[in-house]
Structure 1
C-alpha cells in the first residue's frame, strides 16, 4: 500500500518551523495535487520566520499556524480530482505553477477582475483555510487556484523564479517607465535583480540600482544597470542629481524592505515623480509625508503580487530575456531546513531553493 504521508516544513510559531511527516493531500472535485519540484524561500518567509509584526501581530494575524509555508513553488501534476483536467486544462505529468493568491471569486475585487486584491486574501503558505504551501513533497491546488503550464524548455532554476518574476513585472509596470526616464531601483536582492532585468527591457534613458553589497551590484550591471550605487562608499543623491540636471529620478522603485529605502527614495525622486513601493517591511517606516504633497506632489503607487503577469514571466524566461543565473545561489532538501533558512536569512545567498528528494 502506498505511503499516505509526506515530508513537509510546518510553521507553528516564529522561529518554530519543523520538519515533520504529515498527511499527503488528496484532490477533491476540480482540484489537483502536484509533486513539488522546487520551492523558493522568499524574503517574506524570512521575515515571517523571524516573527515580524505584520505577519504575527494584531487581533487577526496574517499567519494562521500551523501551516506549511511556501508560495514560490512549481511542480508536476501528480493526481487529478474529478473534473480537474477540464477545469484547469492540464494532464497528469504536466509541469505547472499556481499563482500565490487563491481568490475567493466572490468579493467585489474578484468579480471586477482585480483578483490580486481579493478581500479574503488567502495566499499559499500563510493560511491553510484553502490550502497549504509548497515547502513539502506534495501540495493541493483548490478549485479557484489560477494555474499556468510551464514549457519543458525552461530550466528548474528558471521555473523556480516565475512567482517572484511575475511580482517584479507587475512592479515595473506600475512605474509606467518611459524612454526618457531615469529609473532608480533600490535593493538588489532577488526581486530587485529581476526588476532590473525587466526594467532594462523597457529601455529607459538611465537605469540605476542601489544596494549595500558590491557583488549584487555587479550582477545588476550584468543585467543591464547603467549605474550602480553603494551608499556605504557612494553619494547616492549627488550621483542621481548629476545625471538628471539636478532634478532627481523620474521613477523610484523601493524593494529594500528597510525603512531607509523609503526615506532615500523621497529624497532622490524629482517633483511629480512616480514612487513605486513593493517591499514587505519588518518594521514601521516613518517619514515626513509633507514631501509627498506640499513639496513634490508625488505619484505614490503600491505593487502587490503578480496579477496577469505569470504568462509574461513564463514567456520572458522561455525566450531567454530574463534569467535566474546568478540569482539562484543555493539548494537544500526539506530535511536541511535549519541550514536553508539560516542561509536564506543572510547575505551569503540571493535566492535559496528547497528541493524535495
Structure 2
C-alpha cells in the first residue's frame, strides 16, 4: 500500500509498504478520507518522536472495511466507518468518573500506525471499544470526517459551559478556531471575537458566526477586546493556536472571574510566560482542554451527520496522499483552512 512515512522534521516520503496486520477480532480499514489537523502539522514539522522513525501519523479517519478477522462479528466488509483515534479502557478511575479522555490505559491508532496511508489496521481493542460509528450511506466521507475535530471543540465548550449572552474571544482562526466560533454561536454566545495574524483567515472566519475580527499584528488585540467589551474583557477566551506569545496575551483578554482555555498545543519544549499575579487578582479560571469523553464523541458524530453544522464550509481543498507535504504548507501558511487527504485519489 501507499503510505506517507515521516523520517524526521519536514521529511515526509511517500512509499509502498506492506498492508498492516490485524488480529482475529480486528479489521483492515481502507482509508477513504483523512483530515489534516494542526497537531499533525506540528508533529510532522518537528522532531516529534525524538528520532524514532519512520512513522505514519494521521488521526481524523473515515473509511470502508476492506477485510475482517475470522472472529470479528461487530463489523462487515463494506461498512462505512468513522474511527475515533483514541480508545479508553472504560475501567480506570478516570473512565468511571466520565473522563475517558484522561484514561490511564488510553490506546491510540497513530501510536502504532496512523491514517496517512491507503489502509489502517483497527485491532480488536478498537473494534470492541466504544468509539467507532457506522456512517449513513447518504453522508459523504468528506462530511463525516469532521466528527473528530468537532468532538474536541464540542467537549471543550460543554465542559466550560459556554452559554447565552456571553462574549467569547477565540485566538487563532484556523479550522478549529472557526469551529469554536460556530459552536459558541450555537450555544448562544452573544458576541464572538476572532483574533488572528492572517487577514485571509480573519475574512474567512466571518462565515462561521464571528462578529468582530482583530489582526493582532496591526492593532493591540488586548485593548481592542477591552474596547469591544466595555472595558471588562470577555467571559471566555479560547487560545486555539500553537503560539506561546498568543497564550501570554490571552490572559489579559479575560474579564475578572472569566475563563481562559488553552486549547491548542505548542511545540514540545516551549514554555509560556504567564502573569500569575494578574490571574490571581482577577480570579481567572484556567482550563487546559484536550480530547473528549465517549458521550461527547457520539454527540459530535450525530451533530455532523445531521448537518446542523455544515462541514462543507470548512473544506479548502481535497488532495491526494502524494501531496501531503504541499497540504501541510498550505495550512501552515494560512493559504487553506482545512485540507482533506484522499489516499485513493
Q: Could you tell me which residue of structure 2 aligns to residue 255 of structure 1?
A: 240
Q: CA deviation at 1:73?
A: 1.2
Q: Could you tell me which residue of structure 2 aligns to residue 78 of structure 1?
A: 66
Q: Could you tell me which residue of structure 1 aligns to residue 326 of structure 2?
A: 339
CA contact (8 A) 2:63 2:141 kept: no
Q: Could you tell me which residue of structure 2 aligns to residue 60 of structure 1?
A: none
Match of 2:301 among 295, 298, 314: 314
Q: 1:245 aligned to 2:230?
A: yes
Q: Could you tell me which residue of structure 2 aligns to residue 180 of structure 1?
A: 165
Q: 1:134 aligned to 2:134?
A: no
Q: Could you tell me which residue of structure 2 aligns to residue 280 of structure 1?
A: 265
- Superposed CA deviations along residues 123-151 of structure 1, whole A, max 9, x for unmatched, are 332x21xxx11111111112232211222
Q: CA deviation at 1:335?
A: 2.4
CA contact (8 A) 1:272 1:299 kept: yes
Q: Could you tell me which residue of structure 2 aligns to residue 3 of structure 1?
A: none
TM-score normalised by the chain length of structure 2: 0.90
Q: CA deviation at 1:316?
A: 2.1
Q: CA deviation at 1:319?
A: 2.9
Pairing 1:9-24 to 2, within 5 Å after superposition:
9-24=4-19
Q: Could you tell me which residue of structure 2 aligns to residue 99 of structure 1?
A: 84
Larger mean Cα displacement after TM superposition, 134-143 or 284-293: 284-293
Q: 1:199 aligned to 2:194?
A: no
- Superposed CA deviations along residues 271-315 of structure 1, whole A, max 9, x for unmatched, are 11111111110232122222222x211111111113232322222
Match of 2:28 among 16, 19, 33: 33
TM-score normalised by the chain length of structure 1: 0.87
Q: 1:218 aligned to 2:199?
A: no
Q: CA deviation at 1:84?
A: 2.5
CA contact (8 A) 1:175 1:253 kept: no
SS of the aligned residue for 2:124 comes to: coil
SS of the aligned residue for 1:309 comes to: helix
SS of the aligned residue for 1:262 comes to: helix
Q: CA deviation at 1:108?
A: 3.5
Consecutive unaligned residues in structure 1, runs of 5 or more = 1-5, 58-62
Q: CA deviation at 1:252?
A: 0.6
Q: CA deviation at 1:104?
A: 4.6
Q: CA deviation at 1:20?
A: 1.5
- Superposed CA deviations along residues 1-23 of structure 1, whole A, max 9, x for unmatched, are xxxxx111122332332212111
SS of the aligned residue for 1:237 comes to: helix
Paired with 2:218 and 2:138, the residues of 1 have a C-alpha distance of 42
Q: Could you tell me which residue of structure 2 aligns to residue 116 of structure 1?
A: 101
Match of 1:144 among 115, 120, 125: 125
Q: CA deviation at 1:111?
A: 4.8
- Superposed CA deviations along residues 332-357 of structure 1, whole A, max 9, x for unmatched, are 22223332333333221221222112
Q: Could you tell me which residue of structure 1 aligns to residue 339 of structure 2?
A: 352
Paired with 2:327 and 2:212, the residues of 1 have a C-alpha distance of 32
Consecutive unaligned residues in structure 2, runs of 5 or more = none
- Superposed CA deviations along residues 21-50 of structure 1, whole A, max 9, x for unmatched, are 111124323212111111122111111122
CA contact (8 A) 2:237 2:261 kept: yes
Structure 1 residue runs of 4 or more that deviate by more than 6 Å after TM superposition:
none
SS of the aligned residue for 2:115 comes to: coil
SS of the aligned residue for 1:191 comes to: helix
CA contact (8 A) 2:146 2:304 kept: no
